Structure 1
Amino acid sequence: MIEVREVTKRYGTKTAVDRLSFVARPGQVTGFLGPNGAGKSTTMRMVVGLDRPTSGEVLVNGRRYAEHAAPLREIGVLLEAKAVHPGRTAVSHLLGLARTHGIPRRRVDEVIDLAGLGQVAGKRVGGFSLGMGQRLGIAAALLGDPSVIMLDEPVNGLDPEGVLWVRNLLAGLAAEGRTVMLSSHLMSETALIAEHLVIVGRGRLLADTTVADLVAQAAGGGVRVATSHPGLLRDLLSRPGVTVTSTASEELRVNGLTSREIGMIAAEHRIPLYELVPHQVSLEEAFMDLTRDAVEYAATPETTRVLQEATR
């Protein structure tokens, strides 16, 4: 378990993390999300003692990281895939880590096989692609067979097969009862992997929720209806407590009636429907809506317009 308790981190006059609290629990994948500059990396560094909180505390399995006698057996971490001496081979890098904790050679071989690095285990890391470096970083995170795994952008640079491997790996680790926390900018992938979400902006907590609840809240309810007779259907559906708005020339959004009720009314009046589905938004849309006021680095509307025109 990872517990972040009222943590603040300042660098001079800059507050990177501001009274942040959340818990990443065993048995689930927690997605740690936020715009660039939101304080995610600083928070993850504080989890493993690379940065010290100005105030508050961060605990891993009930203790500060530095208080664990064998921290690699408690939490496995990937913060920077390229943070490996380029002259070392993959196997020598993992062996060096293993010897600091009395981890046997057979475990090194196990994680090399698990990460699909068997054919390149004896090659120097400096020649690895980004995807191979990610696999090595994940292998290192799993070396101590820890109960907590924390990964920063674990699918960055991976091909589709590698992305699927990470997705299945993390789901399997959570199913074993481990705590899994990952930070990612890929909303579509996070939606497939994570159940629990912690979203931060400008160092503060914006949401501590589930993917389903965040998306449902952003969608705002309602039913999307597509028909060739939107005006007629609008008139038939209009009544106290029901709101009908147009979202496109042949599309309506209805609040206050269920899909079944709308379908029955349309059928009674022989109005063909092309779509009749609850209104939905993606995790990306929900995230963008939630963090709109917390984006620290954003292009101006004029810059966005120029770029859009240049790509036409």
Structure 2
Amino acid sequence: MIEIHQLVKRYGEKTAVDGLDFTVRPGTVTGFLGPNGAGKSTTMRMVVGLDAPSSGSVQVNGRRYDRHPAPLQEVGVLLEAKSIHPGRSAFNHLNALALTHGIPRRRVEEVIELTGLTQVARKRAGAFSLGMGQRLGIAAALLGDPQTVMLDEPVNGLDPEGVQWIRNLLTGLAAQGRTVFVSSHLMSEMAQTATNLIVVGRGKLLADTTVARFIQDAGGQSVKVLTPQASRFRDLLAGPGVEVTGAPGSEELTVSGLTARQIGTLAFEHGLPLYELTTQAVSLEEAFMAMTEDSVEYHGSTTPPSSPAPALARSTA
């Protein structure tokens, strides 16, 4: 379990983390979401004592990280996959970590097999691809068989098979009753992997909820309706709590506030033909974008740069 109470981190005049207060509980995968610069990495660094809080507290499994006699066996962490000596082999890197914590060699071999590194275990880690480096970082995080696992962007650089593997790994760890805390910018993966969400923006807590409730609060779902009498049906659908949108003259309507069953019943009662009736759920990405719209520090332009005017040819006369 990770317990964070009124956590604040300042760098000079900038407040990177501003009064965060939440608990990451065992038995579930908790996603940690936020725009770039929201304070996610800083928060994770404070969990394991790499940054000291300006105020507030962080505990892992009931203690501060530096108070655990064998921290690698309490919390496994992936913050920067490439933070290894490039001249060491994957096996020697993991074995060195194991020796400092009294972890047997057989556990090194187990995590190498678990993370798919068997064929490259004796190769220099400095020659690894980004994806293989991620696997090695995850192997190091799991080396101590910890009850708490905290991973920052674990699918970065992984191929589709690797992404599916990490998804199954995380849900499997949670099913064993472990605490799993994962940050990612890939909303599709969080939607498939996480059950709970912690969402931050500009260092502040924006949401501490389940994925289902987060999506529901963002608008839940709508129903796509296709009918040749869209204009008439729009008038019939109108009522308190019902929103109907659609382009003038179009046969397609989008309805919020009524279920597909209610819409179909209404059409039947008034003898209106329906070509399509499809429930459309708001995606996690859409819900996230709506919530964090005002918390994004770095906005890119959606307008492509204009081509420079062609230079005038110089006269050679």
Q: TM-score, normalised by structure 1?
A: 0.93
Any gaps of 5 or more consecutive residues in structure 2? 308-317
After TM superposition, which residue ranges in structure 1, 4 or more long, deviate above 6 angstroms? none
Between 1:279-288 and 1:113-122, the stretch displaced more is 279-288
Deviations 1:33-85 (A, max 9, x none): 10000000000000000001000000000100000000010000000010001
Q: Distance in 1 between matches of 2:144 and 2:281?
A: 41
Give the letter aligned to residue 132 of structure 1. M
Match of 2:72 in 1: 72
Q: Distance in 2 between matches of 1:179 and 1:190?
A: 16
The structure whose Rg is larger is 2
Give the letter aligned to residue 198 of structure 2. V
**Alpha-carbon contact 2:237-2:244 (below 8 Å) kept:** no
Q: SS state of the match for residue 208, structure 1?
A: strand
Match of 2:240 in 1: 241
CA distance change for structure 1 residues 255 and 114 in 2, over 3 Å: closer, same or farther?
closer
| Number of residue pairs the alignment of both structures matches | 305
**Alpha-carbon contact 1:5-1:58 (below 8 Å) kept:** yes
Query: CA-atom RMSD, angstroms?
Result: 1.7
Q: Distance in 2 between matches of 1:216 and 1:228?
A: 30
**Alpha-carbon contact 1:151-1:181 (below 8 Å) kept:** yes
Q: TM-score, normalised by structure 2?
A: 0.92
Match of 1:205 in 2: 205
CA distance change for structure 1 residues 123 and 3 in 2, over 3 Å: closer, same or farther?
same
CA distance change for structure 1 residues 113 and 221 in 2, over 3 Å: closer, same or farther?
closer
Q: Greater helix share, 1 or 2?
A: 1
Any gaps of 5 or more consecutive residues in structure 1? none
Q: Distance in 2 between matches of 1:189 and 1:307?
A: 32
**Alpha-carbon contact 2:222-2:255 (below 8 Å) kept:** yes
Match of 1:289 in 2: 290
Q: SS state of the match for residue 213, structure 1?
A: helix
Match of 1:252 in 2: 253
Give the letter aligned to residue 305 of structure 1. T
- Find out whether 1:273 has 2:250 as its counterpart: no
Between 1:116-125 and 1:213-222, the stretch displaced more is 213-222
- Find out whether 1:304 has 2:286 as its counterpart: no
Match of 2:314 in 1: none
Q: Distance in 1 between matches of 2:40 and 2:115?
A: 26
Q: Distance in 2 between matches of 1:23 and 1:307?
A: 45
Q: Matched residues, percent identical?
A: 67
Structure 1 residue 120 displacement after superposition: 0.2
Match of 2:52 in 1: 52
Match of 1:101 in 2: 101
Structure 1 residue 253 displacement after superposition: 3.1
Structure 1 residue 308 displacement after superposition: 11
